[in-house]
A = this chain, B = another copy of it.
Amino acid sequence: MDTPGSEGEVSAELGRLRASIDNLDAALVHLLAERFARTQQVGELKARHGLPPADPDREAEQIARLRRLASQSHLDPEFAEKFLVFIVTEVVRHHEALTRQPD
């Protein structure tokens, strides 16, 4: 692959890459919105039936699965695991708020 040379070429290439990243981020936000709607439902279901918000077994399975998927996609499995832990931490924080203040 050619290496862009002049300042204008570098700037154009950076612009193209950033446009792709922006598209991917929009898709990620929409998927996160959908995921969050589903975990809200899980949280409400658990709160109604007195189930604990966190589930370490389920979380361990999710981590193992996402690490496998990440490896297949040439994504650093550590990154995928950190990502899931980040998401789950946020979700549990919301679930705990729900449990404290059932609507």
Residues of A within 8 A of B (CB): 3-4, 10, 13-14, 17-18, 20-22, 24-39, 41-42, 45-46, 48-49, 51, 58, 62, 65-66, 69-70, 73-76, 79-80, 82-84, 86-87, 90
Contacts and interface: CB of A to CB of B under 8 A. Distances in A.
Interface of A is mostly: helix
B29 A17 contact: no
Given A18-B58, A75-B32, A66 B4 contact: no
A28 B29 contact: no
A20 B32 contact: no
B24 A31 contact: yes
Contact of A24 (B4, B10, B26, B38): B38
